[in-house]
Structure 1
Amino acid sequence: MDSTQQRDVVMDGLVFAESPRWHDGRLWVSDWGAGRVWSLAPDGTRAVEAEVASFPLCIDFLPDGRLLLVSSTDRAVLRREPGGALSRHADLSGEATTPWNEIVVDGHGRAYVNNIGFDFPAGEFAPGIIALVRPDGSVTRVADGLAFPNGMAVTPDGSTLLVAESYAEQVTAYTVDADGRLADRRVWAATPGDHPDGICLDRDGALWYADVGHAHCVRVREGGEVLATVPFDRGAFSCVLDDGPDPRLYVVGQVFGDEQPDGPTGIAARFPAPRGRAASPAAG
């Protein structure tokens, strides 16, 4: 089924909008192009939560609420302390020098960070990896051979990690072992013709993925059945659901391609989500 609800733009003027998260009743968005992390309060008030000159600059949250930021430029995971200061949470430089792309944190405070494996877009393709960052900051490579790893999510029970493989046109699943390592790699959903980017889960066990080239977000269940499609008016880079009783889907993106208009085109827009609620945090 197709969903054609009118979008509600909640943030604009973003240079390169990515990595949306719903946390503490607010939408959080990373503006890669400006090196800023924004939060949006229910009354529409914006606040700059962190500034890091990095592209990419992905975010997620530890179970205690502290913000983690992947600074690809620094090849590091940074942690924002309660007072707002940033400290180094983990050093990623020993695993790869190519761009670090996305982060997801599980209920144990373990962070999974992926690296695309080559210098996009000019570099020659090479497979990407996933690294595990433990709460003590130690880093271990736990997956490789990924065709442009992108968005990631952990199931609410903490048993499965999902990663969008954009170049493979699929969402891939791994079983999470007791120590956080990944095993039993398998295709969770094929997305033929689409290149899934950012993803999020809902409480019904379905997954939303954003697709830049086709300018839409798609809801699929395990096995690949398409349940809903939400069109966007520009490249859709990522998406997240809020945690309300009547959840909304937030999509971030910008005009993307050879012809670039003057000025920023990045926005965050809100849509009623056709069925499905935000997933509960991963179990601890």
Structure 2
Amino acid sequence: MTTYHAVPASPGRYGLAEGPVQDEATETLTWVDIVAGEVHQGRLSRGVVETERRVQVDSMVGAALPSADGRVLVAGLERLWVLHPDGSIDRGPRVLPPGTGRRLNDAACDPEGRLVVGTLSLSGSSTTESLLRVEDDGSLTVLDEDLAQSNGLAWSADGTTLYSVDTIPGHVWARDYDARTGRTGPRRLHLRVEGYADGIGTDTDGNVWVAVWGAGRVLCHAPDGSLLHTVEVAAPHSSSLAFVGPELRTLLLTTASVELDEAQLARYPDSGRLFVAEVEATGVPATPWNGRLPSSPFGRQEH
């Protein structure tokens, strides 16, 4: 097993940095600070992420997914938003009813560029959180509705397997996925992670990389579930990851400073920063948002 050590890569520290994604055409990085309700964009240069834009979007934001034309689809507290290159923001349709004590969480675009997004409870423990796909016609397809906390999402290199996280039990699920038709197979348990599984990514060898909240590390598991690599992070709340750089061989990690007491912050002063690690793996590139978004409220469609 190989152990890598991530190093801090951002001057600033965030409350809850999450959801890093790289635009392959421009190598622009997009990430969010969930608790600040902010979308950030920048570039990685000589081991440092230089921030170029910061936009306040909502009271909380779960994810931000760029499109090929420079727009960014943002999963806010309960609804979607569209951030334009000039900094203007359009209000998108509501996904969650108001006042349910839930919010949108981690999200990703499937191989056809459709948004897949999960939910989490803001009002205590839950067993009814959802994983949803936003269809181009404005409907919602329910992929799961029995989760404790929907989190990280990633696809295999050929796009035929969707991996999804349920954080509280530490489950990484897998299911067959046909992006063209939208059909999915029954989910199956791919990994059971000790601790709180959070953001995930995949590489071209079929391995799944999992950020473990509270553990300060990322674990890389082979297709058979065996542990191949560990990335140590000097911040307990390692939240998510993305493969970035021109060859997708740099692992960009987000971390959080929330939920740490004064003693923990003193011990881990880089908590909340972005980190990078050079790894012996090539990541699967993120699919950009396809740019399609209905303006009317969604109707719900059971899968």
Q: TM tier, shorter chain? A: 0.7 to 0.9
Query: What is the aligned-residue RMSD (CA, Å)?
Result: 2.7
**Are 2:156 and 1:152 aligned?**
no
Q: Is the 8 A contact 2:42 2:53 kept in 1?
A: no
Counterpart position of 2:129: 128
Deviations 1:126-175 (A, max 9, x none): 23111110234332322221232211112333322211111222210122
Distance 2:115 2:136 in 1: 8
Between 1 and 2, higher relative CO (CA 8 Å, sep ≥ 6) is seen in 2
Aligned length: 277
- Give 5+ residue unaligned stretches, structure 2: 291-303
Question: What SS does structure 1 have at the residue aligned with 2:223?
Answer: coil
**Residue 258 and residue 84 in structure 1: after superposition, are their counterparts in 2 closer, same or farther (change >3 A)?**
closer
Q: Is the 8 A contact 1:62 1:105 kept in 2?
A: no
Question: What SS does structure 1 have at the residue aligned with 2:274?
Answer: strand
- Give 5+ residue unaligned stretches, structure 1: none
* Equivalent runs, 1:258-273 vs 2, <5 Å: 259-260=261-262, 261=265, 265-273=271-279
Counterpart position of 2:74: 69
Distance 2:206 2:91 in 1: 34
Counterpart position of 2:7: 7
1:238 is matched by which residue type in structure 2? S
Q: Is the 8 A contact 1:153 1:162 kept in 2?
A: yes
Which residue, 88, 113, 116 being the options, matches 1:112? 116
Q: Is the 8 A contact 2:165 2:172 kept in 1?
A: yes
Structure 1 position 237, deviation (Å): 0.7
Deviations 1:186-227 (A, max 9, x none): 112222x23210111112211111111111011112232111
**Are 2:247 and 1:245 aligned?**
yes
**Are 2:256 and 1:276 aligned?**
no
TM-score, length basis structure 1: 0.86
**Percent of aligned pairs with the same amino acid:** 22
Distance 1:25 1:15 in 2: 24
Distance 2:255 2:201 in 1: 15
Structure 1 position 247, deviation (Å): 1.1
Deviates more, 1:107-116 or 1:153-162: 153-162
Distance 2:110 2:43 in 1: 25
